[in-house]
Structure 1
C-alpha cells in the first residue's frame, strides 16, 4: 500500500508523453515528465514523494517537501482564507491548515509550527497548530546529557519552547541561551533534566559536573590569555555580553574560573582586565 504523504520506492511501469506511471498496490501513479530522473527506464525503481495534487489526484514527485506526514515543521503562511491557511512546504500544492485546526487565526507571511498528518476521513494531507495531542508526555525514552535534535516552536516568559527529536515537548531557559533564536530554528542540544511531572528541560551545552565545567573554563581562559600575550580587557566587572563575546561562556562560569586561577596565583584580576602573573614564555 502506498504511503501517502511520505517517500516511496516505486517501479516505473510505463511511459507516456507527459511522464511515467509508477506501479503500486493502489494502482498506477503519475510521475510528471519534469520530475522523471534523467536516464530512468521502465523497470527502474525511483524514490518519490506521494501526495494529492490540486485536483485531488494521487501523484508522485521527486521534489522534496520541507516535512512529511507524521512530522512537526515550522512553515510560512502563503495565504489565509475563510476555509484555512495555506502553507509553503516546498511542493506545487500548498499544505492546508483547516480553520478548526488553528489555535489562533493564522496570518499571511508569518511562520507557524504545525504537525502534518493524513486525515482518515478525507484521505487528505493536512496540518494543525494544535500540537499537544501529537507530543508524547509519558514513557519518555531519554536520559540526562543525551544529545537530541531541537525544533524551536515558540517563546515563554522564562524560556524557548522546543520539540525534542520530533517526539517530546521541551524548554530551553532564556538565561542559558547566548545566541539569536527564532521560530523554526533547528538546533542540537542535550537533555538537562526530566522532571517528576515529565516535563523536559534541555540545554545547548552538554551538562558537566560543576568541578569539570570550571576546570574546562579555566583552561580555555588560559589558552586565550596566552594567545593574547597574557592580557584580556575583561574582568569580573564586565557585562555578560562582553564575556560571552570574547570567551563564549556565561559570566557566572567566568567568575568562578578566574577565581580559581587567581587563588592558584596564575592570574591578576584588575577592575577592567585580567593578566597572567607568569611571563608568557614560561607557558
Structure 2
C-alpha cells in the first residue's frame, strides 16, 4: 500500500521519458519524475525508498529527495506565503506544505520560522498545524536535570505571561511569567536552562541567568548607564518595578541587590533623586 507523507519501499516497474513508475506489492503505481530522481542511475527491478506526496496537480508522486519532516513529526519550518485560506511553508520539496487558517494558533509571518506538526487531512492531502502541544513528548525520568542548558522554541503564549515551549524540538516545556523578562513570540528560538521537572514530565524552563552571572552582568549595565549619563541615573532601590524592568530588563529584587553590591564596593551612592557614580 502506497502511503502519503511517509517513506515507501517500492520497486521500479518501468522507465518512461519523463521518469519511472514504481509499484508496491499490490501492483499500485506512482511516478518518480526525472527531476526527483536526483541523477541516480535507476533500472527496472530496483528497489527504492521514496517519499510520497502530491504534486501541483494533486497527483500522488514520489521523490528521492528528503523532506524536512514526515507525517506525525514536528518541524521548524519557514512560512513562504499567506492568503485568506491559509499559509504555505517550505518543508524541503518542490511543493510547499499547506497550513489551513483554522490550524493557525497565532498569526504567521512570511519569512519567519515556526514549529509545525504534519498530518494527512480528510481529503488525503498533506497539511500542517501550529497546534503541536498534543504531539510533544513528556520527558522521561533522568532525561534532564536542573541547570541543564537546552534549546527551546516557543509555540504558544498565554495571557498570564506563561510560555509553552518545545525543548530540543521534542519535549513539553513551560516558562513561567517570572522566568522571562523579554517579549518572546511564537517561533522564537532561545537558549535557556532547566529549572525543574514537574511530576507529569513537563520541563520547567528559565531564561534567567544564574544569580552570580546575572548580577555581574547587571552591575556592568548599571555602571555603563551611569558613565554614559554624566554619572547619574534617576533610578534607585525605591524605583517602581515597572520602570526598572523597562529600562534594565530585570526585576526590582535583582536591581536592588545589585545596587547594594555596588555600594559595598564604593562605586555608587544613592539618594532620593536616584543613583550617582562615585
Bin for the TM-score computed over the shorter chain? 0.5 to 0.7
Alignment of 1:42-57 (within 5 A): 42=41, 50-54=51-55, 55-57=58-60
Extract unaligned runs of 5+ from structure 2: 43-48, 109-113
Partner of 2:153: 151
Q: Partners of 2:30 and 2:195 in 1: how far apart?
A: 49
* 1:129/1:229 CA distance change after superposition, 3 Å: closer
Partner of 2:248: 243
Superposed displacement of residue 169, structure 1: 1.9
Alignment of 1:1-283 (within 5 A): 5=5, 18=18, 21=20, 30-33=32-35, 40=39, 42=41, 50-54=51-55, 55-60=58-63, 67-69=69-71, 70-73=73-76, 78=83, 80=85, 87-90=87-90, 91-95=94-98, 105-106=102-103, 110-111=107-108, 114-117=116-119, 125-128=126-129, 131-137=132-138, 139-140=140-141, 141-156=143-158, 157-206=160-209, 208=210, 210=211, 212-213=212-213, 215-217=215-217, 219-221=219-221, 224=224, 228=228, 231-236=231-236, 237=239, 238-244=243-249, 249-270=250-271, 271-275=273-277, 277=278
Paired residues, what number? 249
Extract unaligned runs of 5+ from structure 1: 81-85, 278-283
Q: Is the 8 A contact 2:162 2:176 kept in 1?
A: yes
* 1:148/1:215 CA distance change after superposition, 3 Å: closer
Superposed displacement of residue 160, structure 1: 1.5
TM-score (norm 2): 0.64
Q: Partners of 1:21 and 1:267 in 2: how far apart?
A: 77
Q: Partners of 2:207 and 2:198 in 1: how far apart?
A: 18
Superposed displacement of residue 170, structure 1: 1.8
Partner of 1:281: none
TM-score (norm 1): 0.63
Q: Is the 8 A contact 1:152 1:163 kept in 2?
A: yes
Superposed displacement of residue 144, structure 1: 1.6
Secondary structure in 1 matching 2:145 = coil
Q: Partners of 1:274 and 1:163 in 2: how far apart?
A: 43
Superposed displacement of residue 260, structure 1: 1.3
